[in-house]
Amino acid sequence: MATIGKPIECKAAVAWGPNEHLKIETIQVAPPEDHEVRIKICYTAVCHTDAYTLSGQDPEGLFPVVLGHEGSGIVESIGKGVTDVAIGDHVIPLYVPQCRECKFCKSSKTNLCQKIRVSQGQGVMPNGTSRFTCNGKKLFHFMGCSTFSEYTVVADVSITKINKEAPLNKVCLLGCGVPTGYGAALNTAKVEKGSTCAVWGLGAVGLAVGWGCKAAGASKIIGIDINAKKFEIAKKFGFTDFVNPKDYEKPIQEVLIELTDGGLDFTFECIGNVATMRAALESCHKGWGVSTIVGVAGAGQEISTRPFQLVTGRTWKGTAFGGWKSRDSVPKLVDEYLTKKLLLDEFVSHNLSFNEINDAFHLMHTGESIRSVLTISEV
Ligand SMILES: NC(=O)C1=CN([C@@H]2O[C@H](COP(=O)(O)OP(=O)(O)OC[C@H]3O[C@@H](n4cnc5c(N)ncnc54)[C@H](O)[C@@H]3O)[C@@H](O)[C@H]2O)C=CC1
Ligand SMILES: N[C@@H](CCC(=O)N[C@@H](CSC=O)C(=O)NCC(=O)O)C(=O)O
Ligand SMILES: [Zn+2]
Ligand SMILES: [Zn+2]
């Protein structure tokens, strides 16, 4: 291929500063170095975490940056030492890598590979440098993925090859929100058959939690959102009951404890709001209720509750990427989608062009979208 070993000039949506609209720019993407892979991004969705970092609330937020971490694409070229993917493979970039060598990867207790976590948080490749420039200015990478670009470079531990039969405009969602919610229920909380569950926030992440609770055989799955338009949509994902906190004067935990004979077996916070994190914990049943934090709260925010809530048997947990060991699991989730065990199409509320990327953020903020999928390059 003519581009191998050479910089590629292409379009990317650049975030020049917090709260600024993304600007489609011509950027240069350097070739992959050792243990790196350059990908032609075909599709990307927009996750709330992109909006969170763009808002300036992320303590690790850096600008200028190429955001995006829920994408799919095709390998354009590989650096020395790359063994697991080849040119032409269909792939999903992974913001939680899996090196299979670090202490975290070797433990069955976590999916949080730490091999490249420091450089990833610094917005650079593992060797400390960026592959992106725009008019000679360095751009930062984001979450090891940067999918808001026609081409990106990722570490070889941050990518997985998937079945070529899978539609890339759907399986891009397996880069973040859907596995996160589905795994929060199945891997982190370990929802039990017949149990009662409640989910705060019915965006893609919360809806995927509902699907995970249903897969685990939950008997009741309550969806909680201040946007009542989400309730009808949520029925497709297994939710059985709905509560809008705006309809009540008393604290929502009191409402839920009354509705569920003492509280829920499992609760999930999928908003990123420390007040709802507290409500989710305090809505758990005394003695055994488990609350899982999925939402990402802004810089400086802290959670609180009376320690008595934990003394009396409630458990507070958290999850990143739903606890999935990424390179092992994402190809299996693709197969679950292909065999219709896992929903993906139902999460796609909008298909937009790359030029409409700021509209995708607007649709998220107004609560009109579940996931907007942007076409970046034709397959
Ligand atoms: N832990 C992890 O690995 C991951 C965490 N996240 C985080 O999960 C959260 C959800 O992400 P998305 O589903 O993409 O977001 P979204 O913006 O699509 O959905 C959020 C939902 O919360 C609802 N909401 C907002 N404030 C509320 C309140 N006070 N009470 C009840 N409902 C309220 C909104 O109406 C909306 O339906 C975000 O904080 C995101 O950063 C996302 C992906 C992975
Ligand atoms: N950068 C933030 C933390 C952001 C965060 O918690 N990210 C989640 C994924 S959110 C995906 O949409 C995560 O996986 N965290 C684990 C990690 O190692 O970052 C901050 O500094 O607070
Ligand atoms: Zn995300
Ligand atoms: Zn590792």
Mind listing the pLDDT tens digit for each residue in 40-57? 999 999 999 999 999 999
What residue numbers bound the domain in which 202 lies?
A: 178-319
Q: Does any ligand 2 atom lie closer than 6 A to the CB of residue 53?
A: no
Name the one residue in this structure whose structure tokens are 């949520």. 234
| Residue 288 forms part of a structural domain | yes
| Residue 325 forms part of a structural domain | no
Q: Which ligand is nearest to the CA of 295?
A: 1
Q: Does any ligand 2 atom lie closer than 6 A to the CB of residue 320?
A: yes
Query: How many helices (H) and strands (E) in the chain?
Result: 12, 17
Task: Please choose from 46, 54, 95, 114 the residue to mutate so as to test ligand 2's pocket, defined by most ligand atoms within 8 A of CB.
Answer: 95
How remote is the CA of residue 156 from the centroid of ligand 1, in Å?
29
Answer yes or no: do 263 and 194 share one domain: yes
- For ion ligand 3, residues whose CB falls within 5 Å: 47, 49, 176
CB-CB contact of 180 with 294 (8 Å) = yes
C-alpha count within 13 angstroms, C-beta hemisphere, residue 218 = 28
CB-CB contact of 378 with 169 (8 Å) = no
Answer yes or no: do 366 and 234 share one domain: no
Convert the pLDDT of each residue in 200-233 to its tens digit. Answer: 999 999 999 999 999 999 999 999 999 999 999 9
Answer yes or no: do 153 and 185 share one domain: no
Q: What is the mean pLDDT of residues 276-292?
A: 98
For 294, residues 6+ apart whose C-beta sits below 8 A from its C-beta are: 180, 181, 184, 205, 206, 209, 268, 269, 270, 318, 319
Token couple for 379? 């397959």
Protein residue with its CA nearest to atom 2 in ligand 2: 58
Q: What is the mean pLDDT of residues 263-281?
A: 98
C-beta atoms surrounding 287 within 10 Å: 10
Catalytic residue numbers, as ranges:
47-49, 69-70, 99, 102, 105, 113, 117, 176, 371
In whole angstroms, what is the distance from residue 42 CA to residue 188 CA? 31
Answer yes or no: do 50 and 147 share one domain: yes
Q: Does any ligand 2 atom lie closer than 6 A to the CB of residue 58?
A: yes
Protein residue with its CA nearest to atom 14 in ligand 1: 48
Answer yes or no: do 31 and 161 share one domain: yes
Look at residue 1 and tell me whether its pLDDT is greater than 90. no
Look at residue 4 and tell me whether its pLDDT is greater than 90. yes
Q: Residue 135: what pLDDT?
A: 96
In whole angstroms, what is the distance from residue 353 CA to residue 375 CA? 5
Residue 188 sits in a domain of what CATH number?
3.40.50.720
Helix (H, G, I), strand (E, B) or coil at 264: strand
In whole angstroms, what is the distance from residue 270 CA to residue 209 CA? 9
Percent of the chain's residues with pLDDT above 90:
99
How remote is the CA of residue 329 from the centroid of ligand 4, in Å?
14
Total tally of structural domains belonging to the chain: 2
In whole angstroms, what is the distance from residue 26 CA to residue 14 CA? 9
How remote is the CA of residue 374 from the centroid of ligand 4, in Å?
30
| Opening angle at CA 83, ends 377 and 164, nearest 5 | 40
Protein residue with its CA nearest to atom 6 in ligand 2: 296
Convert the pLDDT of each residue in 324-365 to its tens digit. Answer: 999 999 999 999 999 999 999 999 999 999 999 999 999 999
DSSP code for 189:
I
